[in-house]
């Protein structure tokens, strides 16, 4: 699969094929996480490991402080 690099206004963008966008369940405005591999290749993914780790920490805190959060929500 080839992805075209194009000038879009004052920026540079990637043109993703419709099939690729559909396969990743993406829509306009979504973000992709870019990982550069040791061999110089690049991986695009809708999955952001940093966000996932933050959500795990937040969920643990919500369980720990469930009663306090419940009181604050009143």
pLDDT at 10: 96
d(CA 18, CA 12): 19
- 60, containing H or E segment: helix 49-64
Q: Residue 50 — pLDDT band, cuts 50, 70, 90?
A: confident
Q: What DSSP letter does each residue of 2-27 carry, written as one string? A: --EEEEETTEEEEE--HHHHHHTT--
* CATH class of the domain at 4-72: mainly beta
pLDDT at 12: 96
Query: What average pLDDT score do residues 4-20 get?
Result: 92
Q: What residues does each domain of the chain span?
A: 4-72
C-alpha 18/C-alpha 27 separation (Å) is 10
Q: pTM score, two decimals?
A: 0.50
Output the pLDDT for position 32: 87
Check whether 49 has a pLDDT greater than 80: no
Q: What confidence score (pLDDT) does residue 30 get?
A: 87
């Amino acid at each position: 699969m080839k992805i075209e690099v194009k000038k879009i206004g004052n920026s540079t963008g990637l043109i993703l094929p419709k099939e690729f966008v559909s396969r990743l369940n993406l829509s306009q405005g979504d973000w992709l996480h870019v990982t550069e591999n040791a061999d110089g290749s690049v991986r695009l993914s809708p999955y952001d490991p940093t966000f996932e780790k933050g959500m795990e920490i937040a969920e643990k805190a919500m369980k720990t402080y469930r009663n306090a959060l419940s009181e604050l929500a009143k």
